[in-house]
Structure 1
Amino acid sequence: MSTSALNIATWLTLLRIALIPVLIGLFYLPWPGARVMCALVFLLASLTDWLDGYLARKLNQSTAFGAFLDPVADKLMVAVALVLLVQNDPEPWLALAAVIIIGREITIASLREWMAEIGQRRKVEVSWLGKAKTTLQMSAITLLLFAVDWWTEVLQPLGYGFLVLAAFMTLWSMINYLRAAWPILMENR
């Protein structure tokens, strides 16, 4: 890998991946405030998602490696946090929301890979809906991580509400991507 692929935006993305074991460790530490720290780590990682994209555009440092790594970091972080939350509160509707979100990410990543193979990647590029969905997911997860140990009676219902909205937007964005790809998917190749 060339050093030009390792710019500040890419380092922020790598930091997001490196924070995943920290997130897990803090979630399971039996210390007072550990889960609040876990929520702060997730919030920091979420902010780096916005910051790395902003810096890559602002500093003209977009790279193929960064474009590949950024969504991987996001998906890993969200999936890990959702698994932690479901393990902590194994409610069926929470598990369903997590399955919808994680399943959509796998489906759309596979769709994008296949569309790229056939030269049709532009039909399934990230949209404003996908960005809004990601913001809602990260907000919901941050609130729910804080709610595990702190201000539960207020943050938990708010986080659950955001997560339900995020699951709805997740399905909506998946349907939009599949609709855009549907004619190509139905072709006999």
Structure 2
Amino acid sequence: MKLTVPTLLTLLRILLIPVLVLVFYLPFKWTNFAAAFVFILASVTDWLDGWIARAYNQSSAFGAFLDPVADKLMVAVALLLIVQKHPTPWMALWAAVIVGREIAVSALREWMAELGQRAKVKVASIGKIKTIVQMVALTILLYFVPDKFGDKPSIPFVIGDWMLAVAALLTLWSGLAYLRAAWPALREDARNS
């Protein structure tokens, strides 16, 4: 297996996950900034690895597998950190919707690949919009999360919270779009079974 630049960037994103956790829990005033910065860096590598892979024809099967795994891990860990520091029912619900959809869509893609129809569940524009809203929301929430539960959240944190709610709704919408695209193949497989 040849490691391309996009794959190395994806591996860097995975290596940034423990760095995110570490800086999030450091006992310094600048840790929120550092956590947000690490998350932004990971988000930029996500965009950059895709761009390099397309622009320089460096796509690989391993990279195609690893890229969404790295994305889902980074998002899940960021959500876990935020919910742990701000454990409200709404925040937990948004996190559960986002993580649950990611698991469901990954399973759907795997099943469609087994049927030889993976192309029917490719990333749609609504998924890209969801990703942008989600990444901005998580960056805001990592930076402005209150130091302890019960502290009054700042206005930027509230904006990030609302953006995460929008991201969760877009997550459901895009998940239904994936299911709708896969439904004919799933029904056909059920008939043949």
Structure 1 length-normalised TM: 0.94
Q: Distance in 1 between matches of 2:128 and 2:64?
A: 15
Q: Distance in 1 between matches of 2:110 and 2:91?
A: 29
Partner of 1:155: 156
Query: Which residue identity does 1:158 align to in structure 2?
Result: I
TM-superposed CA distance for 1:184, in Å, is 2.5
TM-superposed CA distance for 1:37, in Å, is 0.3
> 5+ unaligned residues in a row in structure 1: which ranges?
none
Partner of 2:125: 128
Aligned-pair identity (%): 58
Query: Which residue identity does 1:81 align to in structure 2?
Result: A
Q: What is the CA deviation profile of residues 94-137 of structure 1, one whole-angstrom value per residue up to 9, with x for unaligned ones?
A: 00000000000000000000000011111111111111111111
Partner of 2:111: 114
8 Å contact kept, 1:33–1:149? no
Partner of 1:86: 83
Query: Which residue identity does 1:61 align to in structure 2?
Result: Q
Query: Which residue identity does 1:170 align to in structure 2?
Result: T
TM-superposed CA distance for 1:149, in Å, is 5.9
Cα root mean square deviation, aligned: 1.3
SS in 2 for 1:82: helix
8 Å contact kept, 1:16–1:48? yes
From 5, 13, 16, the counterpart of 2:13: 16
8 Å contact kept, 1:146–1:155? no
Q: Distance in 1 between matches of 2:61 and 2:160?
A: 34
> 5+ unaligned residues in a row in structure 2: which ranges?
148-152
Partner of 2:24: 27
8 Å contact kept, 2:126–2:170? yes
How many equivalent residue pairs?
185
8 Å contact kept, 1:36–1:146? yes
From 143, 165, 168, the counterpart of 2:140: 143
8 Å contact kept, 1:104–1:174? yes
SS in 1 for 2:29: coil
Query: Which residue identity does 1:70 align to in structure 2?
Result: D
Q: What is the CA deviation profile of residues 129-152 of structure 1, one whole-angstrom value per residue up to 9, with x for unaligned ones?
A: 1111111111100010011269x6
Q: Distance in 2 between matches of 1:182 and 1:149?
A: 43
Q: Does 1:176 align with 2:177?
A: yes
Q: Distance in 1 between matches of 2:165 and 2:65?
A: 28
Structure 2 length-normalised TM: 0.92
